[in-house]
Amino acid sequence: MKNYFLDNPDIQFHLKHQDLDRMIRWHEDDFAEFPAYPQAPENEGDAREGYALVLSLVGELCARCLGPKAGEVDQQGTLLKDNEVIFPAPTQRAWELFAQAELLGFSLPRKYGGLHFPATILCMAQEMIARGDPSFLNFGLQQDIALAINKFASEEQKEDCLPRLARGEWDASMILTEPEAGSDLQAVSLRAVQDDRGQWRLNGVKRFITNGCGKLALVLARSEPEAPGGRGLSFFLYRREEGMTIRRLEHKMGIRGTATCELQFNQAPAELLGERKRGLTKYTIWLLNCARLGIAAQGIGIAEAAWREARTYAEKRIQFGRPIGEFPAVYEMLARMQVELEAGRSLLYTASRCVDLSEALESYLEKHPEQKPGLIDEKKKYGNYASFLTPLVKAYASEMANRAASAAVQVHGGSGYMKEFAVERLFRDARVTNIYEGTTQMQVAAALRGLLSGTAELLLDELDGGDYPHAPELPPKIRRARQIFQEAFALAKEKGDDRQFLSFHARRLSEMAGELIMAYLLLGDAHSGPDKLKIASLFIAGLEPRIRFLAELVKEEGEAFLENRLF
């Protein structure tokens, strides 16, 4: 039986080799739920075994109900009828199977019927799902929304919503974007007003809402008309019953198995979630960071699927009497795909581990305040790493997925341009990953803050201090490349942002930092043996030229584009 977990040694590698033990201990509150819950782990090794067990179930479901049906789902797309969305039959069936398999409460606490798995394990599930069908977004969406409710809602709201989300009785959506408020969510204008009885009512239009038909939604709305920008926005819990019309479904380039809705709210009853005025500044930012990690995992999954399709095709397709994969030009595409994919995966699971450490320590220290003196600095450090690495990996993985899907089409030649081959769909599906949940341009702006705050340097110092006896020739190469980056970064900082110099080069600067971090991570992975050492060596072989190229652009091109404006 096919299984996307068991057939993927690289995911298994990260489950085994990522340093998860401390995180698991804090996440499980020193294993306090064992044995009250028979499914709770009693130690770190037991937790890892449980993760592997469930990931194997996810891998089997993905291989059985997503991968083989993705083409059919893409062809059918979603339909709107009588204010209800009709999903392609295989998508509906997959949702039922995920619910039957008790996977929809993947991240939720056990007391609400969840599995209480950390973000790292969720990302592993999400990348397998995306490998099967990138349009099956509702699983990840369910987790993000359930987690936000678990973190910020009242106990009464949690008890009402979370068991239903875990059982799959309700599906969910986060309703943020508006026609005039896309990347700039401070411009949100959908109104939330309290009626005479104190009931909040929502009025206005939302757009590009993934699964806007969901039974439960988190809605960003303007509750304080007099307060400008983000400070006037609050978060609302909306149970879909009355007052909301799905005006239309978007006709999309890819991920056609998901419903992207335009919604009209008309006196829709809603409940305030958390505190007023914190809708954007606290809750949406937190929720978007969860979602961004999920999109990074989606990018990795798409790249995995594209690489596998291309590898298989290149082995079977014979031209000039040989499989085309044997020709250097094709081999290069396949090899680069693999190196970039494994680099992205290392970055993803490092980012997710930092998110987990930060979140686990936050809840652990709430329960054990006496431990604060020893752990609060770690909490802060991992929080900073998470804030920096999340946009960085979202940008890298989504751009890499686009490159991989494009290369996979190229390996297929003319066939890849045809609907009969999966790579044509993957190419379209990949295209949204560097747009939604914040474009790459927004991500690099966020990552730039991590560069300017010194977080990136701190992380690079920590990585540089690692022990790499298995490849002593490689760290000096990374250090040389880092020196080149530091010079370019110093110049950019000197120029500042008065004339938008830093913003203009944000992408190049964060790309350089990402490359250096991935070089160290792959070097660390190479502890495990020759296969990973080969990947690290290949990645690092071209590191200095890539960094030098980007640095030269920062230094030499400098302000040219800013000074000589074309329009």
The residue among 93 and 322 lying less far from another protein, judged by its C-beta, is: 93
> Contact 502/481 with Cβ under 8 angstroms?
no
Q: Is 437 a catalytic residue?
A: yes
From the CA atom positions of the chain, what is the Rg in Å?
24
Q: In this structure, what are the phi and psi dihedrals at residue 434, rounded to the nearest 5 degrees?
A: -90, 15
The nearest distance, CB 164 to another protein, in angstroms, is: 16
Tokens of 531: 């296969």
Sign of the dihedral through C-alpha 431, 433, 438, 439: negative
The nearest distance, CB 105 to another protein, in angstroms, is: 8
Cβ count near 141 (within 10 Å): 19
* Residues 6 or more apart in contact with residue 153 via CB below 8 angstroms: 161, 237, 273, 274
Could you tell me what percentage of the chain is helix, strand and coil, using 3-state DSSP and rounding each to the nearest 5? 65, 10, 25
The residue among 47 and 300 lying less far from another protein, judged by its C-beta, is: 47
* Residues 6 or more apart in contact with residue 273 via CB below 8 angstroms: 149, 152, 153, 157, 218, 234, 235, 236, 237, 283
Alpha-carbon gap, residue 147 to 137, rounded angstroms: 16
The residue among 44 and 378 lying less far from another protein, judged by its C-beta, is: 44
The nearest distance, CB 130 to another protein, in angstroms, is: 19
In one-letter notation, the amino acid at residue 90 is P
The nearest distance, CB 50 to another protein, in angstroms, is: 5
Q: Alpha helices of 113-154 — where are they, by DSSP H?
A: 119-132, 138-152
Q: For 311-375, give the DSSP string.
A: HHHHHH-EETTEEGGGSHHHHHHHHHHHHHHHHHHHHHHHHHHHHHHHHHHHHHHHH-GGGHHHH
The nearest distance, CB 53 to another protein, in angstroms, is: 6
- Give the interface with another protein as residue ranges (CB under 8 A): 1-2, 7, 37-39, 49-50, 53-54, 57, 60-61, 93, 97, 100-103, 113, 115
Burial (Cβ within 10 Å: 0-12, 13-18, ≥19) of residue 160: middle
Burial (Cβ within 10 Å: 0-12, 13-18, ≥19) of residue 427: buried
The single residue of 437, 511, 515, 544 carrying the catalytic annotation is: 437
> Contact 365/379 with Cβ under 8 angstroms?
yes
The nearest distance, CB 182 to another protein, in angstroms, is: 37
Please, what's the b/e burial string for 463-481 (b: 16 or more CB within 10 A of its CB; e: otherwise)?
beeeebebbeebbebbeeb
The residue among 63 and 259 lying less far from another protein, judged by its C-beta, is: 63
The nearest distance, CB 97 to another protein, in angstroms, is: 6
The residue among 7 and 461 lying less far from another protein, judged by its C-beta, is: 7
> Contact 183/202 with Cβ under 8 angstroms?
no
DSSP type of residue 107: T
The residue among 110 and 277 lying less far from another protein, judged by its C-beta, is: 110
Alpha-carbon gap, residue 203 to 191, rounded angstroms: 5
Cβ count near 158 (within 10 Å): 19
The residue among 57 and 452 lying less far from another protein, judged by its C-beta, is: 57
The residue among 90 and 475 lying less far from another protein, judged by its C-beta, is: 90
The residue among 19 and 96 lying less far from another protein, judged by its C-beta, is: 96
Nearest to 446 by CA among 515, 396, 380: 396
The β-bridge partners of 79 are 86
Element (H, E) at 222: strand 216-222
Alpha-carbon gap, residue 380 to 455, rounded angstroms: 11
The nearest distance, CB 100 to another protein, in angstroms, is: 5
The nearest distance, CB 58 to another protein, in angstroms, is: 8
Cβ count near 563 (within 10 Å): 8
Assign 131 to helix, strand or coil. helix
Residues annotated catalytic, as ranges = 437
